[in-house]
C-alpha cells in the first residue's frame, strides 16, 4: 500500500468532509428547528459558486469576490425563506419535499437563463494556486489546504455561536421545543429567517470554495445535496456535532474508498472482476453505511436531546 497516496487521500477526504459539513450544518439546523425538509439547499450552494464566479470576473480578485458572495447568498436565502418556505413549516414532509423540488427546478432554469448552459470556472489568485510540502517531498495544493483550514475555523466558530451565544441558545431551545420558546416571547419567525439565511451563507461558502476545484455548472447542487442528506441523517437530524462527525466520516470513506477499494478487493476476488466491481461498490459505500446506521439506530448516531419528535 502506498502511504503517501493514503496521506493525500485522507487530506482530500477531510476537505470533502468539511465542505459537506458546511452544507450539512445549515441543513441540519433547518431540519431540526423547523422540522422542514429542504431539498433546495443544494441550489444555494450552486448560487454561491455562480455568484463567486461572476464577482471574480468583475473585481478580478477571488478574495473580494468571496467576501461579496457570502452576504449575497445570505440575502437569497432570506428571500427564499420569506417568499416560499415560511408557508411550509406547518405542512407535512411530502409538501415540503415537493415545493422545494419545485425550487430546484426554478433555480436550475434561472441559472441557465442568466449564466447560460455552459459551466464557468473560477480562476484562483497566484498564492492559492501553488502547492505546499506538507511533509518533505509531498506537495499538496495550497487551495485544498485552505479549504480544510477554513472548514475547521467555521466549525469552531459555529460551535462557539451555538454553545456560547444568545442566538445559539435560542437555536438549541428551538430545536428541542419550538412552541415553548415561542410562548416565552421570542420572535420565532425572525429566528427562523436568520437561521435559514445563516445556513444559506454557509452553503454559499461551500459553493464558492468547491467552485475552483470542481466545475461551476447547473445541477452541481443536486449531487452534493444527496451526500449532505446522507450526512445529516447519519449524524442525527438537528445535531451540529453529529453533522460534523458524519461529514468527516463520509468524506473519508468516499475519497479513500474510491482510491483504495480496487486494491483491497483484489485481495479477495479475481483481479478483473475487482476492477469492474470496485467503482460500483465505492459509490455505494456511503449509502450502505447510511442504511446500516439507520437499521441499527433509526434516529441517527447523535439524535439531539429533545421532546416529542
Partner 1 sequence: MTLSIRFFINAALLIILALVPFLTDWAGDSFYTGLVSRILILAIAALSLNLLIGYGGMVSFGHAAYIGVGAYVVGIGAFHAFEDGIDWMLNGYFQLFTTLAVSAVIALIIGAISLRTRGVYFIMITMAFSQMLYFTAVGVETYGADDGLTIYSRSDMMGLIDLNDEKSLYYLIFVSLLAVLYLMHRLVGSQFGNVIRGTKSNEARMRAIGYSPYKYRLTAFVIAGIIAGYAGFLMANLSDFVSPDMMHWTRSGDLIIMIVLGGIANLFGPLYGAVVFLMLGELLSSIPLTIGGLSVGEYWQLIFGPLLIFIVLYARNGIDSFLPGKGRRT
State the residues that interact with partner 1 by CB under 8 A: 31, 37, 84, 87-88, 91, 93-95, 97-99, 101-110, 112-113, 222, 226, 229-230, 233, 237, 276-277, 279-281, 283-284, 287-288, 290-291, 294-295, 298-300
- Measured from the CB atom, the residue of 80 and 208 that comes closer to partner 1 is 80
Q: What is the dihedral of CA 182, 185, 186, 187, to 10 degrees?
A: 90
Least separation, in Å, of the C-beta of 25 and partner 1? 17
Least separation, in Å, of the C-beta of 231 and partner 1? 11
Contact 27, 232 (CB under 8 A): yes
Q: If residue 138 lies in a helix (H) or strand (E), which one and from where to where?
A: strand 138-141
CA distances 179 to 96, 176, 244, Å, are 20, 9, 27
CA distances 84 to 32, 35, 38, 40, 112, Å, are 19, 15, 11, 11, 21
- Measured from the CB atom, the residue of 121 and 276 that comes closer to partner 1 is 276
- Measured from the CB atom, the residue of 12 and 228 that comes closer to partner 1 is 228
Least separation, in Å, of the C-beta of 299 and partner 1? 7
- Measured from the CB atom, the residue of 15 and 28 that comes closer to partner 1 is 28
The DSSP output letter for 269 is: S
- Measured from the CB atom, the residue of 86 and 159 that comes closer to partner 1 is 86
Least separation, in Å, of the C-beta of 73 and partner 1? 19
- Measured from the CB atom, the residue of 28 and 193 that comes closer to partner 1 is 28
Least separation, in Å, of the C-beta of 296 and partner 1? 9
Least separation, in Å, of the C-beta of 37 and partner 1? 6
Is the dihedral angle over the CA atoms 290, 296, 300, 302 positive or is it negative?
negative
- Phi first, then psi: what are they for 255, rounded to 5°? -75, -50
- Distance between CA 165 and CA 198 in Å, rounded? 15
- 42 Cβ neighbours under 8 A, 6+ residues apart: 23, 104, 203, 220, 221, 222, 223, 224, 225, 228
Amino acid at each position: 500500500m502506498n502511504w503517501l497516496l493514503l496521506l493525500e487521500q485522507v487530506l482530500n477526504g477531510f476537505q470533502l468532509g468539511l465542505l459537506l459539513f458546511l452544507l450539512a450544518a445549515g441543513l441540519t439546523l433547518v431540519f431540526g428547528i423547523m422540522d422542514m425538509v429542504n431539498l433546495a439547499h443544494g441550489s444555494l450552494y450552486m448560487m454561491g459558486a455562480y455568484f463567486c464566479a461572476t464577482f471574480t470576473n468583475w473585481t478580478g480578485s477571488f478574495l473580494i469576490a468571496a467576501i461579496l458572495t457570502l452576504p449575497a447568498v445570505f440575502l437569497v436565502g432570506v428571500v427564499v425563506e420569506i417568499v416560499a418556505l415560511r408557508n411550509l413549516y406547518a405542512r407535512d414532509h411530502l409538501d415540503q419535499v415537493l415545493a422545494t423540488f419545485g425550487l430546484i427546478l426554478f433555480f436550475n432554469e434561472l441559472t441557465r437563463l442568466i449564466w447560460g448552459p455552459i459551466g464557468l470556472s473560477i480562476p484562483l489568485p497566484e498564492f492559492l494556486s501553488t502547492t505546499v510540502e506538507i511533509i518533505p517531498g509531498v506537495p499538496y495544493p495550497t487551495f485544498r489546504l485552505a479549504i480544510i483550514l477554513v472548514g475547521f475555523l467555521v466549525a469552531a466558530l459555529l460551535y462557539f455561536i451555538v454553545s456560547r451565544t444568545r442566538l445559539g441558545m435560542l437555536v438549541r431551545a428551538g430545536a428541542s421545543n419550538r412552541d415553548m420558546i415561542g410562548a416565552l416571547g421570542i420572535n420565532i419567525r425572525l429566528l427562523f429567517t436568520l437561521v435559514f439565511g445563516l445556513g444559506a451563507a454557509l452553503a454559499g461558502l461551500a459553493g464558492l470554495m468547491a467552485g475552483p476545484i470542481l466545475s461551476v455548472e447547473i445541477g452541481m447542487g443536486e449531487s452534493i445535496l444527496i451526500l449532505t442528506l446522507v450526512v445529516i441523517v447519519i449524524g442525527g437530524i438537528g445535531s451540529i456535532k453529529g453533522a460534523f462527525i458524519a461529514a468527516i466520516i463520509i468524506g473519508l470513506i468516499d475519497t479513500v474508498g474510491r482510491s483504495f477499494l480496487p486494491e483491497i478487493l483484489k485481495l479477495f476476488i479475481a483481479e478483473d472482476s475487482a476492477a469492474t466491481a470496485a467503482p460500483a461498490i465505492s459509490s455505494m459505500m456511503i449509502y450502505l453505511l447510511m442504511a446500516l446506521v439507520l437499521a441499527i439506530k433509526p434516529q441517527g448516531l447523535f439524535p439531539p436531546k429533545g421532546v416529542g419528535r
